[in-house]
Amino acid sequence: MYKGDEKIKNKIIIPVGVSVIVLSVTSVILSLFLMGIIRLPTAEEKSSKVLPDIIKLTDLGSATELEGNVTLVSVFANDSRYSWDFNDENDISARENIFSYTKTAADWICEQAQRYNKTLNISYAEDSKSDLYYETAFDEKCLDIEKSISKSALPEWKYIDSKIDNNAIKSKYKSDSVVYLIFINQKEEYGTVAFALSFYDRVLDYPYEICFLPYFFAENVISPSVIAHEILHTFGAPDLYGYDEYKMNYDTTVEYVDYCRKNHYNEIMHSTFDISEGVIKRVYDRITNDLTDITAYYIGWIDEPPAEVDEFALVHSQHEYYSRHKQDKD
Ligand SMILES: [Zn+2]
Protein backbone atom coordinates (compact mmCIF):
# COMPACT_ATOMS: atom_id res chain seq x y z
CA MET A 1 0.00 0.00 0.00
CA TYR A 2 1.37 3.42 -0.93
CA LYS A 3 1.51 6.28 1.52
CA GLY A 4 -0.84 8.25 -0.69
CA ASP A 5 -3.43 5.47 -0.37
CA GLU A 6 -3.00 5.46 3.41
CA LYS A 7 -3.80 9.21 3.49
CA ILE A 8 -6.86 8.73 1.33
CA LYS A 9 -7.97 5.80 3.51
CA ASN A 10 -7.60 7.96 6.65
CA LYS A 11 -9.51 10.77 4.98
CA ILE A 12 -12.37 8.36 4.42
CA ILE A 13 -12.22 6.28 7.60
CA ILE A 14 -12.15 9.18 10.08
CA PRO A 15 -15.27 11.01 8.76
CA VAL A 16 -17.12 7.70 8.30
CA GLY A 17 -16.24 6.61 11.86
CA VAL A 18 -17.32 9.94 13.33
CA SER A 19 -20.57 9.80 11.36
CA VAL A 20 -21.27 6.26 12.56
CA ILE A 21 -20.70 7.30 16.18
CA VAL A 22 -22.87 10.41 15.82
CA LEU A 23 -25.61 8.40 14.13
CA SER A 24 -25.58 5.67 16.77
CA VAL A 25 -25.66 8.17 19.64
CA THR A 26 -28.50 10.05 17.90
CA SER A 27 -30.47 6.89 17.32
CA VAL A 28 -30.00 5.77 20.93
CA ILE A 29 -31.20 9.18 22.17
CA LEU A 30 -34.08 9.07 19.69
CA SER A 31 -35.19 5.63 20.83
CA LEU A 32 -34.96 6.70 24.50
CA PHE A 33 -37.21 9.62 23.57
CA LEU A 34 -39.61 7.31 21.77
CA MET A 35 -39.66 4.91 24.71
CA GLY A 36 -40.38 7.89 26.94
CA ILE A 37 -37.30 7.24 29.07
CA ILE A 38 -35.92 10.68 28.44
CA ARG A 39 -37.82 13.77 27.38
CA LEU A 40 -37.31 17.48 27.07
CA PRO A 41 -38.65 19.53 29.97
CA THR A 42 -41.84 21.42 29.22
CA ALA A 43 -41.82 25.20 29.51
CA GLU A 44 -43.43 24.90 32.92
CA GLU A 45 -40.91 22.38 34.12
CA LYS A 46 -38.09 24.58 32.91
CA SER A 47 -39.37 27.39 35.08
CA SER A 48 -38.09 26.95 38.60
CA LYS A 49 -40.17 25.28 41.29
CA VAL A 50 -39.79 28.39 43.37
CA LEU A 51 -42.15 31.29 43.11
CA PRO A 52 -41.33 34.43 41.13
CA ASP A 53 -39.61 37.24 43.03
CA ILE A 54 -42.47 39.62 42.68
CA ILE A 55 -44.71 37.27 44.65
CA LYS A 56 -42.01 36.14 47.01
CA LEU A 57 -41.34 39.54 48.36
CA THR A 58 -44.35 41.69 47.82
CA ASP A 59 -47.93 40.57 48.13
CA LEU A 60 -48.16 37.02 49.36
CA GLY A 61 -51.82 36.67 48.67
CA SER A 62 -53.51 34.50 51.22
CA ALA A 63 -50.29 33.51 52.83
CA THR A 64 -50.01 36.00 55.56
CA GLU A 65 -48.87 33.89 58.46
CA LEU A 66 -51.48 31.85 60.29
CA GLU A 67 -50.54 33.69 63.48
CA GLY A 68 -51.76 36.61 65.52
CA ASN A 69 -55.40 37.57 65.15
CA VAL A 70 -57.50 35.93 62.49
CA THR A 71 -61.09 37.08 62.01
CA LEU A 72 -63.72 34.86 60.41
CA VAL A 73 -66.74 36.64 58.95
CA SER A 74 -69.77 34.39 58.38
CA VAL A 75 -71.95 35.31 55.40
CA PHE A 76 -75.20 33.37 54.93
CA ALA A 77 -75.92 33.88 51.25
CA ASN A 78 -78.84 33.08 48.95
CA ASP A 79 -77.92 32.54 45.34
CA SER A 80 -79.66 31.65 42.08
CA ARG A 81 -80.26 28.10 43.30
CA TYR A 82 -80.47 27.98 47.07
CA SER A 83 -81.80 30.19 49.81
CA TRP A 84 -81.98 30.40 53.58
CA ASP A 85 -85.31 30.93 55.32
CA PHE A 86 -84.73 31.92 58.90
CA ASN A 87 -88.43 31.61 59.64
CA ASP A 88 -88.07 27.91 59.00
CA GLU A 89 -86.99 25.78 61.95
CA ASN A 90 -84.76 23.58 59.80
CA ASP A 91 -82.76 26.52 58.51
CA ILE A 92 -82.55 28.04 61.99
CA SER A 93 -81.08 24.83 63.33
CA ALA A 94 -78.76 24.50 60.32
CA ARG A 95 -77.44 27.98 61.12
CA GLU A 96 -77.00 27.04 64.80
CA ASN A 97 -75.01 24.01 63.67
CA ILE A 98 -72.81 26.18 61.48
CA PHE A 99 -72.04 28.54 64.39
CA SER A 100 -71.07 25.59 66.52
CA TYR A 101 -68.98 23.90 63.80
CA THR A 102 -67.17 27.17 63.10
CA LYS A 103 -66.28 27.49 66.80
CA THR A 104 -65.04 23.88 66.90
CA ALA A 105 -62.94 24.48 63.77
CA ALA A 106 -61.46 27.72 65.15
CA ASP A 107 -60.66 26.20 68.56
CA TRP A 108 -59.03 23.20 66.92
CA ILE A 109 -56.81 25.32 64.66
CA CYS A 110 -55.71 27.35 67.72
CA GLU A 111 -54.84 24.12 69.59
CA GLN A 112 -52.74 23.01 66.63
CA ALA A 113 -50.98 26.39 66.59
CA GLN A 114 -50.02 25.90 70.25
CA ARG A 115 -48.41 22.58 69.39
CA TYR A 116 -46.18 24.51 66.98
CA ASN A 117 -45.55 27.33 69.50
CA LYS A 118 -47.52 29.87 67.52
CA THR A 119 -49.75 32.47 69.09
CA LEU A 120 -53.08 32.48 67.36
CA ASN A 121 -56.47 33.94 68.26
CA ILE A 122 -59.46 33.42 66.02
CA SER A 123 -62.61 35.55 66.28
CA TYR A 124 -65.83 34.36 64.68
CA ALA A 125 -69.61 34.86 64.74
CA GLU A 126 -71.16 32.88 67.59
CA ASP A 127 -74.71 33.88 66.70
CA SER A 128 -76.71 35.99 64.27
CA LYS A 129 -76.32 39.08 66.46
CA SER A 130 -72.56 39.12 66.05
CA ASP A 131 -71.01 41.93 64.01
CA LEU A 132 -69.16 39.17 62.16
CA TYR A 133 -72.48 37.84 60.86
CA TYR A 134 -73.99 38.90 57.51
CA GLU A 135 -76.82 37.85 55.22
CA THR A 136 -76.94 38.58 51.52
CA ALA A 137 -78.19 37.35 48.15
CA PHE A 138 -76.30 36.84 44.89
CA ASP A 139 -77.98 36.63 41.48
CA GLU A 140 -75.54 34.05 40.25
CA LYS A 141 -74.57 30.52 41.15
CA CYS A 142 -72.25 30.91 44.15
CA LEU A 143 -71.00 27.34 44.35
CA ASP A 144 -68.97 27.10 41.19
CA ILE A 145 -65.71 25.20 41.44
CA GLU A 146 -64.51 27.20 38.40
CA LYS A 147 -63.97 30.10 40.83
CA SER A 148 -61.37 28.08 42.64
CA ILE A 149 -59.62 27.11 39.40
CA SER A 150 -59.63 30.63 37.95
CA LYS A 151 -59.02 32.20 41.39
CA SER A 152 -61.73 34.71 40.77
CA ALA A 153 -64.89 35.55 42.69
CA LEU A 154 -66.00 38.86 41.21
CA PRO A 155 -69.58 39.00 42.63
CA GLU A 156 -68.37 38.11 46.13
CA TRP A 157 -65.45 40.57 46.00
CA LYS A 158 -67.84 43.25 44.80
CA TYR A 159 -70.32 42.45 47.59
CA ILE A 160 -67.70 42.52 50.35
CA ASP A 161 -66.10 45.72 49.05
CA SER A 162 -69.39 47.56 48.73
CA LYS A 163 -71.38 46.23 51.70
CA ILE A 164 -68.93 45.32 54.42
CA ASP A 165 -66.46 47.66 56.09
CA ASN A 166 -63.51 45.27 56.08
CA ASN A 167 -61.18 47.96 57.45
CA ALA A 168 -63.46 48.57 60.41
CA ILE A 169 -63.49 44.82 61.13
CA LYS A 170 -59.71 44.73 60.85
CA SER A 171 -59.23 47.58 63.24
CA LYS A 172 -61.83 46.43 65.77
CA TYR A 173 -60.48 42.87 65.91
CA LYS A 174 -56.83 43.93 65.29
CA SER A 175 -56.93 41.33 62.53
CA ASP A 176 -53.80 40.17 60.80
CA SER A 177 -56.02 38.25 58.40
CA VAL A 178 -59.73 38.20 57.59
CA VAL A 179 -61.45 35.17 56.07
CA TYR A 180 -65.01 35.32 54.74
CA LEU A 181 -66.93 32.06 55.12
CA ILE A 182 -69.80 32.09 52.63
CA PHE A 183 -72.45 29.53 53.65
CA ILE A 184 -74.88 28.36 50.98
CA ASN A 185 -77.97 26.33 51.82
CA GLN A 186 -77.24 23.61 49.26
CA LYS A 187 -79.41 20.57 49.89
CA GLU A 188 -78.42 18.19 47.13
CA GLU A 189 -76.54 15.09 48.15
CA TYR A 190 -74.19 15.30 45.21
CA GLY A 191 -73.96 19.05 44.85
CA THR A 192 -70.80 21.15 44.71
CA VAL A 193 -68.17 20.43 47.35
CA ALA A 194 -66.70 23.06 49.68
CA PHE A 195 -63.81 25.06 48.23
CA ALA A 196 -61.58 28.04 48.91
CA LEU A 197 -59.71 30.54 46.77
CA SER A 198 -56.07 29.82 47.46
CA PHE A 199 -53.50 32.35 46.23
CA TYR A 200 -50.08 30.87 46.74
CA ASP A 201 -48.65 31.68 43.32
CA ARG A 202 -50.40 34.86 42.42
CA VAL A 203 -50.95 38.26 43.96
CA LEU A 204 -54.30 38.60 45.69
CA ASP A 205 -55.64 42.09 45.17
CA TYR A 206 -58.10 41.91 48.05
CA PRO A 207 -57.20 42.24 51.74
CA TYR A 208 -59.19 39.17 52.78
CA GLU A 209 -59.80 35.53 51.89
CA ILE A 210 -62.95 33.64 50.91
CA CYS A 211 -64.20 30.07 51.50
CA PHE A 212 -67.36 28.71 49.87
CA LEU A 213 -69.18 26.32 52.16
CA PRO A 214 -72.29 24.39 51.11
CA TYR A 215 -74.39 23.21 54.08
CA PHE A 216 -74.88 19.78 52.53
CA PHE A 217 -72.60 17.95 50.11
CA ALA A 218 -71.13 14.49 49.46
CA GLU A 219 -74.12 12.94 51.25
CA ASN A 220 -73.35 14.73 54.51
CA VAL A 221 -73.92 17.97 56.36
CA ILE A 222 -70.76 20.11 56.50
CA SER A 223 -68.61 19.46 59.58
CA PRO A 224 -66.03 21.31 61.72
CA SER A 225 -63.21 19.48 59.91
CA VAL A 226 -64.43 20.73 56.51
CA ILE A 227 -64.51 24.32 57.75
CA ALA A 228 -61.00 23.96 59.24
CA HIS A 229 -59.71 22.33 56.02
CA GLU A 230 -60.98 25.22 53.88
CA ILE A 231 -59.61 27.87 56.26
CA LEU A 232 -56.19 26.17 56.12
CA HIS A 233 -56.27 26.40 52.31
CA THR A 234 -56.51 30.17 52.51
CA PHE A 235 -53.24 30.25 54.48
CA GLY A 236 -51.44 28.07 51.95
CA ALA A 237 -52.19 24.42 52.79
CA PRO A 238 -52.44 22.22 49.68
CA ASP A 239 -54.86 19.32 49.25
CA LEU A 240 -53.10 16.03 49.89
CA TYR A 241 -55.75 13.82 48.32
CA GLY A 242 -55.66 14.89 44.67
CA TYR A 243 -52.88 15.59 42.20
CA ASP A 244 -52.42 19.06 40.74
CA GLU A 245 -54.71 18.90 37.73
CA TYR A 246 -55.17 22.64 37.28
CA LYS A 247 -51.80 24.06 38.35
CA MET A 248 -53.25 25.23 41.64
CA ASN A 249 -51.92 22.70 44.13
CA TYR A 250 -48.09 23.00 44.37
CA ASP A 251 -47.41 20.48 41.54
CA THR A 252 -48.62 17.49 43.56
CA THR A 253 -48.42 14.31 41.50
CA VAL A 254 -50.26 10.99 41.43
CA GLU A 255 -47.19 9.45 43.14
CA TYR A 256 -47.32 12.04 45.90
CA VAL A 257 -51.05 11.50 46.45
CA ASP A 258 -50.31 7.79 46.71
CA TYR A 259 -47.62 8.56 49.29
CA CYS A 260 -50.11 10.69 51.25
CA ARG A 261 -52.71 7.93 51.22
CA LYS A 262 -50.14 5.67 52.89
CA ASN A 263 -48.42 8.21 55.13
CA HIS A 264 -50.91 11.00 55.86
CA TYR A 265 -54.22 9.20 55.82
CA ASN A 266 -55.71 11.07 58.76
CA GLU A 267 -54.17 14.46 57.86
CA ILE A 268 -56.85 17.13 57.71
CA MET A 269 -55.74 18.13 54.19
CA HIS A 270 -56.05 14.49 53.12
CA SER A 271 -59.33 13.59 54.81
CA THR A 272 -62.04 15.44 56.69
CA PHE A 273 -63.68 12.20 57.82
CA ASP A 274 -63.35 10.52 61.19
CA ILE A 275 -61.74 7.08 61.20
CA SER A 276 -61.17 6.70 64.94
CA GLU A 277 -63.67 3.89 65.33
CA GLY A 278 -62.66 1.99 62.23
CA VAL A 279 -65.51 3.31 60.08
CA ILE A 280 -65.32 6.39 57.88
CA LYS A 281 -67.84 8.96 59.05
CA ARG A 282 -68.33 12.64 59.78
CA VAL A 283 -68.17 13.83 63.38
CA TYR A 284 -69.72 17.09 64.45
CA ASP A 285 -68.64 17.85 68.02
CA ARG A 286 -64.88 17.63 67.49
CA ILE A 287 -62.13 17.16 64.90
CA THR A 288 -60.31 13.83 64.97
CA ASN A 289 -58.01 14.52 62.01
CA ASP A 290 -54.35 15.45 62.44
CA LEU A 291 -52.43 18.52 61.41
CA THR A 292 -48.89 17.31 60.64
CA ASP A 293 -45.60 18.89 59.55
CA ILE A 294 -46.48 18.95 55.86
CA THR A 295 -49.46 21.25 56.47
CA ALA A 296 -47.57 23.11 59.22
CA TYR A 297 -44.85 23.87 56.65
CA TYR A 298 -47.29 25.16 54.02
CA ILE A 299 -49.11 27.41 56.50
CA GLY A 300 -45.85 28.87 57.78
CA TRP A 301 -45.58 27.18 61.17
CA ILE A 302 -42.27 25.48 60.39
CA ASP A 303 -39.57 26.85 58.10
CA GLU A 304 -37.80 23.67 57.00
CA PRO A 305 -39.58 21.74 54.25
CA PRO A 306 -40.28 18.11 55.22
CA ALA A 307 -38.14 15.74 53.06
CA GLU A 308 -41.14 14.74 50.94
CA VAL A 309 -41.39 18.26 49.47
CA ASP A 310 -38.17 17.85 47.45
CA GLU A 311 -38.52 14.10 47.13
CA PHE A 312 -41.73 14.67 45.14
CA ALA A 313 -40.58 18.01 43.63
CA LEU A 314 -43.44 19.99 45.12
CA VAL A 315 -43.47 23.77 44.84
CA HIS A 316 -42.02 25.17 48.06
CA SER A 317 -44.12 27.05 50.58
CA GLN A 318 -44.42 30.77 49.99
CA HIS A 319 -43.93 31.20 53.74
CA GLU A 320 -40.27 30.26 53.31
CA TYR A 321 -39.79 33.46 51.35
CA TYR A 322 -41.98 35.41 53.71
CA SER A 323 -39.87 34.40 56.74
CA ARG A 324 -36.67 34.99 54.82
CA HIS A 325 -37.85 38.42 53.77
CA LYS A 326 -38.79 39.23 57.37
CA GLN A 327 -35.30 38.18 58.50
CA ASP A 328 -33.70 40.33 55.80
CA LYS A 329 -35.65 43.33 57.00
CA ASP A 330 -34.87 42.75 60.73
ZN1 LIG B 1 -59.28 21.08 49.91
pTM: 0.82
Measured CA to CA in angstroms, residue 184 lies from 278, 289, 301, 305 at distances of 31, 24, 31, 36
Cα(152) to ligand 1 centroid in Å equals: 17
pLDDT given at position 198:
83
Q: What is the mean pLDDT of each run of 10 residues along the chain (330 residues)?
A: 48 55 56 44 46 53 81 96 96 97 98 97 98 97 88 92 96 95 89 86 85 91 97 94 88 95 97 92 96 96 94 88 64
Beta strands in 101-227 (DSSP E): 120-123, 133-137, 177-184, 195-196, 209-214, 216-217, 220-221
Q: How far apart are CA 71 and CA 218, in angstroms?
A: 28
pLDDT given at position 63:
63
pLDDT given at position 52:
54
pLDDT given at position 40:
44
Cα(189) to ligand 1 centroid in Å equals: 18
pLDDT given at position 196:
92
Residue 87: half-sphere exposure toward Cβ, Cα within 13 Å: 0
Query: In 3D, which of 115, 112, 162 has the Cα closest to residue 136?
Result: 162
Cα(132) to ligand 1 centroid in Å equals: 24
Cα(268) to ligand 1 centroid in Å equals: 9
pLDDT given at position 151:
84
CA-only gyration radius of the chain, Å = 26
